[in-house]
Amino acid sequence: MRDEILTPVGDAADHHVSNAPVQDKGSEKPVVGLLDNSKPNVAHFLQMVGKDLHAQGYRTVRVIKPRSAGPCPELDTLAQRCDYVVNAVAD
């Protein structure tokens, strides 16, 4: 039997992901997506972030994933509707 050291570091991806272009909205504030991974305490955290963003004049879009470990079925919608997205992952 051969001893082997395993590392949790993955290989670098060979593809490039580019950011979606942000449209010029003049003086209008950007739209911020709030992505809740449905784990405990995330809803409270995003509620506070959302209140702070609204107080500063930002518009928000809130999405809750059906399962924390699963994909977000509304990811394309967030990308189309939002300029930025806060992806909250907490316990």
The string of pLDDT tens digits covering residues 21-35 is 556 666 688 999 999
Side-chain half-sphere CA neighbours of 6 within 13 A: 2
- At residue 56, the 3 state secondary structure works out as coil
Domain boundaries, the chain: 36-88
Which phi and psi angles does 84 have, rounded to 5°? -140, 155
Question: With bands split at pLDDT 50, 70 and 90, how would you rate the model's confidence at 68?
Answer: confident
pLDDT band for position 47 (cuts 50, 70, 90)? very high
Q: What does the pLDDT read at residue 7?
A: 64
**pTM (2 decimals)?**
0.68
pLDDT in tens, 69-85: 888 898 888 999 999 99
Integer Rg of the chain from CA: 18
